[in-house]
Amino acid sequence: MRLEVDHLGKTYGATRALDGLSLRVESSRVLVLIGPSGGGKSTFLRVLGGLELPDAGQVRVNTHELAGASPPELQAYRRRNGFLFQQFNLFPHLTARQNITLPLEKVHGHDPAVASTMGEAALVRFGLIDHADKLPAQLSGGQQQRVGIARAIAVAPEVLFLDEPTSALDPEMTAEVLELIQELAEAGQDIILSTHEMGFARAVADQVAFVAAGKIEEAGAPAEIFGAPRSEQVRRFLSRVMRY
């Protein structure tokens, strides 16, 4: 996975979410975004996923130019990727199976029989086959998040975008979901994710970017960011969040 981001800007009213953010990643399997809440991680992730258009700057993900892309180009790009955000965003009136197969039919245009086969494979892969016909309310938080990941992975995405995927989970469920994400990374899935789980970020990432005040304060390999950060702001942040 390759990223080229130059002077990215994004505002919401009077709030400047991204303020001249620039980042170059020549080759990465897992890019992890860390930093304080409200620093711009989620907005940056949504721009990289083609869900938000920047107000200024350039952004390229692999061979895809996103700034200035037409609506059909952005739609095609989104269909190539998988997304999972802080809330589970499952359809409450559909079973786990239906939550996976419906997008395969309606968004990706697969025949119902093909969608069913793909959905079954995703349920088996993520240990959900025994829960396939349960509604989201009948599943634990960890199981719901696994359904969300299964839905995102069912289409074999070019890049999987994850925005704080464990923020709504208790510690046991957090560990369950993080192990699943690590398995996906080890299987070769390209991933860009934001997280407050520093131990996980250090273990699974091959590149880490610290986002604060709408900019990249520092970026590099996990050993550099966590072991010898150059920025005083990064040092202060890590000293607080890794104290306990």
**One digit per residue, pLDDT tens: the chain, 244 residues?**
999 999 999 999 999 999 999 999 999 999 999 999 999 999 999 999 999 999 999 999 999 999 989 999 999 999 999 998 776 689 999 999 999 999 999 999 999 999 999 999 999 988 899 999 999 999 998 899 889 999 999 989 999 999 988 877 788 878 888 888 889 999 999 999 999 989 889 989 999 999 999 999 999 999 999 999 999 999 999 999 987 6
The pLDDT of residue 179 is 87
Beta bridge partners of 19: 9
With beta carbons less than 8 A apart as the criterion, state whether 30 and 205 touch: yes
What pLDDT is stored for residue 244 in this prediction? Answer: 65
CATH no. of 26-53+70-81+158-244: 3.40.50.300
What distance in Å separates the CA atoms of residue 205 and residue 200, rounded to the nearest whole number? 8
Q: What's the chain's length in residues?
A: 244
Which pLDDT score, from 0 to 100, does residue 173 have? 79
What is the location of CATH 3.40.50.300 in the chain? 26-53+70-81+158-244
208 near 221, Cβ under 8 Å? Answer: yes
Measured CA to CA, the distance from residue 20 to residue 16 in angstroms comes to 10
Q: Residue 142: its pLDDT value, please?
A: 85
CB neighbour burial string for 26-57, b if at least 16 within 10 angstroms, e if fewer: eebebbbbbbbeebbbbbbbbbbbbbbebeeb
Sign of CA dihedral 44, 49, 55, 59: positive
User: What CA–CA distance (Å, rounded) separates 67 from 56?
Assistant: 8
Residue corresponding to tokens 């981001």: 5
Query: What's this model's pTM, rounded to 2 decimal places?
Result: 0.92
pLDDT of residue 88: 65
